[in-house]
């Protein structure tokens, strides 16, 4: 169980390590200052129906109740230790999992933990204004739940930095509160976390696509030979599931509403659909193209010596590593990657070790495709022929083999000029964004009411009715 009597709730017996406890208690007010500055705008006095972790066991870890977000009990929760756990891949395969950081991997591990940690506050910063134009109390509560849990994920990485990396870990933990999403001088580390999330369509796309990168990266880190990292990522994954649910159902509900309106008014043309105050399917496709492409960049280069060394040294595994039936060394294995050759895209077989980013990206894309198929069922059931499609992997890429190339959503290699001429057909244009913004000017906060452009969810949170007061404004 988690000890909530402590200033910092935890299940790591923090009270026994006074030095660590003091260091984290010193970081805590800096974190709170960051939350007040960069957390959800004008939200501090609201009472929000949130879930809080009570135990790290798979059953019954959550307790629901009204909380003012600054009073949320952020803390440190690791999955319980399995004393028999081993390093399951790479050159140390078969050794007992490490309980301390191996000296030779210290800086590499710290970099991975910092990169992971940096995404968590970044996403809160990206979403901070959205509460001001929420489509319902239900959605407002959900975004706040996502935000407090991203805050907790930051705590998870900061614990590792403080506990295992001494002074430079503490400095990195401070820097995590100093970088800012989109800041020209001190931006967040990874590209997608510096993109704005200006509206709720972008938010649902982000939680569907980008939080799922979080899932796959956390799964890979949950395989780590460094046991405390593995255990903390395992627990973070239980929280991540809700974020992806918010994204997938958010998009489903928008599609549902658009299809209802299209059927009711017998309209198909995008401008007629927009005139009825709902989001046309073409705009949904453009947002999808954007979020998919910036998210698949987050997996890193197709051929990466970093990825190879993370694996060989046992720091970061593959998705579901222990379920894969091979030697878990990959010294002689190959993996296909795509690259541009002249005006064609060709497949080349490269060392499976250097292609580990690509492999994780492919695992991710397979799961994403399942979600897109589920969305398409909504159009199918409404008798509408439009289907959403994932663009080609090379479309709009800034990292890896496709960076610097102009690839169409169908996978044709184009000239830069030809690509630019089609840009607004494939990606949200300024006018598209303006239209989506125009739907989201005020907030809908009457219990049980939903904005016109989104259908209500099938059920409420924690079996509460849809007209439950998920957020109290008092
Ligand atoms: N933008 O060898 P390369 C989440 C850098 S999301 C900017 O290709 P590597 C969440 C790279 O850092 C999951 N820079 O890549 C979701 C490297 O720089 P240095 C976050 C990029 O190292 C929603 C250089 O390019 N977790 O949790 O094999 C809400 C060459 O790198 C980008 C992780 O990412 C980019 N897109 O792999 C909240 C896991 N991509 O070091 C939360 C930890 C690459 O040469 N991170 N670069 O200066 C990693 O495992 C790896 O750092 C990466 C990159 C997979 C990201």
From first to last of its 474 residues, the chain has per-residue pLDDT tens of 666 667 888 888 898 999 999 999 999 999 999 999 999 999 999 999 999 887 777 666 788 999 999 999 998 989 999 999 999 999 999 999 999 999 999 999 999 999 999 999 999 999 999 999 999 999 999 999 999 999 999 999 999 999 999 999 999 999 999 999 999 999 999 989 999 999 999 999 999 999 999 999 999 999 999 999 999 999 999 889 999 999 999 999 999 999 999 999 999 999 999 999 999 999 999 999 999 999 999 999 999 999 999 999 999 999 999 999 999 999 999 999 999 999 999 999 999 999 999 999 999 999 999 999 999 999 999 999 999 999 999 999 999 999 999 999 999 999 999 999 999 999 999 999 999 999 998 999 999 999 999 999 999 999 999 999 999 998
Location of structure tokens 């017996």: 13
Cα 96 to middle of ligand 1, angstroms: 28
Give the mutation target among 306, 312, 364 for probing the ligand 1 site: most ligand atoms within 8 A of CB. 306
Cα 137 to middle of ligand 1, angstroms: 34
Location of structure tokens 């977000």: 69
The whole-model pTM stands at 0.96
Q: What is each CA distance from 314 to 76, 105, 214, 221, 355, in whole angstroms? A: 24, 10, 20, 10, 16
> Is 228's C-beta closer than 6 angstroms to any atom of ligand 1?
no
Cα 190 to middle of ligand 1, angstroms: 6
Distance between CA 347 and CA 340 in Å, rounded? 9
> Is 299's C-beta closer than 6 angstroms to any atom of ligand 1?
yes
- Torsion, CA 82, CA 88, CA 94, CA 98, rounded to 10: -50
Beta carbons within 8 Å of 293's beta carbon, 6+ residues apart: 391, 395, 396, 397
Contact 69, 144 (CB under 8 A): yes
Helices and strands, number each (H, E), in the chain:
12, 7
Taking CA atoms only, the protein residue closest to ligand 1 atom 2 is 304
Cα 192 to middle of ligand 1, angstroms: 10
Residue 62 buriedness (CB in 10 A; 0-12 / 13-18 / 19+)? middle
> Is 300's C-beta closer than 6 angstroms to any atom of ligand 1?
yes
Location of structure tokens 């990466």: 304
Distance between CA 446 and CA 170 in Å, rounded? 44
Taking CA atoms only, the protein residue closest to ligand 1 atom 44 is 300
Q: What is each CA distance from 9 to 5, 13, 361, in whole angstroms? A: 7, 10, 35
Taking CA atoms only, the protein residue closest to ligand 1 atom 17 is 300
Cα 405 to middle of ligand 1, angstroms: 20
């Amino acid at each position: 169980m988690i000890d909530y009597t402590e200033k910092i709730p935890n299940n790591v017996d923090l009270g026994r390590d006074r030095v660590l406890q003091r260091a984290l208690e010193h970081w805590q007010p800096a974190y709170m200052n960051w939350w007040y500055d960069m957390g959800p705008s004008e939200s501090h006095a609201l009472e929000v129906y949130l879930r809080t972790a009570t135990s790290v066991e798979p059953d019954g870890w959550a307790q629901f109740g009204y909380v003012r977000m600054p009073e949320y009990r952020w803390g440190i929760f690791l999955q319980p230790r399995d004393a028999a756990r081993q390093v399951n891949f790479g050159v140390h395969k078969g050794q007992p999992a490490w309980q301390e950081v191996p000296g030779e991997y210290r800086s590499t591990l710290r970099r991975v933990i910092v990169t992971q940690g940096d995404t968590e506050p970044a996403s809160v910063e990206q979403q901070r204004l959205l509460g001001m134009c929420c489509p319902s109390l239900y959605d407002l509560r959900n975004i706040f739940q996502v935000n407090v849990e991203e805050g907790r994920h930051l705590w998870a990485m900061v614990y590792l930095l403080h506990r295992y990396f001494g002074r430079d870990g503490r400095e990195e933990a401070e820097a995590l509160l100093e970088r800012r999403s989109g800041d020209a001088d001190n931006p967040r580390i990874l590209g997608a976390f510096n993109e704005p999330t200006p509206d709720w369509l972008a938010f649902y796309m982000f939680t569907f696509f980008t939080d799922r990168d979080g899932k796959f990266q956390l799964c890979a880190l949950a395989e780590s030979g460094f046991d405390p990292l593995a255990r903390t990522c395992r627990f973070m994954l239980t929280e991540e599931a809700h974020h992806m649910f918010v994204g997938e159902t958010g998009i489903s509900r928008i599609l549902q509403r658009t299809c209802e309106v299209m059927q009711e008014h017998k309209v198909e043309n995008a401008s007629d659909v927009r005139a009825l105050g709902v989001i046309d399917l073409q705009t949904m496709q453009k947002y999808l193209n954007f979020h998919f492409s910036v998210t698949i960049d987050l997996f890193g280069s197709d051929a990466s010596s970093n990825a190879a060394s993370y694996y060989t040294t046992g720091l970061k595994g593959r998705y579901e590593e222990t379920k894969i039936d091979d030697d878990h060394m990959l010294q002689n294995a190959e993996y296909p990657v795509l690259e541009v050759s002249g005006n064609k895209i060709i497949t080349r077989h490269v060392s499976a070790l250097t292609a580990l980013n690509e492999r994780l990206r492919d695992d991710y894309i397979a799961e994403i495709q399942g979600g897109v198929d589920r969305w398409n069922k909504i159009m199918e059931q409404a008798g509408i022929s439009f289907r959403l499609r994932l663009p080609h992997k090379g479309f709009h890429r800034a990292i890896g083999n496709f960076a610097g190339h102009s690839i169409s959503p169908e996978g044709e290699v184009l000239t830069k000029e030809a690509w630019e001429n089609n840009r607004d057909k494939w990606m949200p244009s300024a006018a598209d964004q303006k239209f989506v913004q125009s739907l989201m000017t005020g907030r809908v906060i009457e219990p049980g009411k939903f904005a016109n452009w989104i259908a209500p969810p099938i059920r409420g949170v924690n079996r509460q009715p849809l007209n439950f007061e998920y957020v109290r404004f008092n």
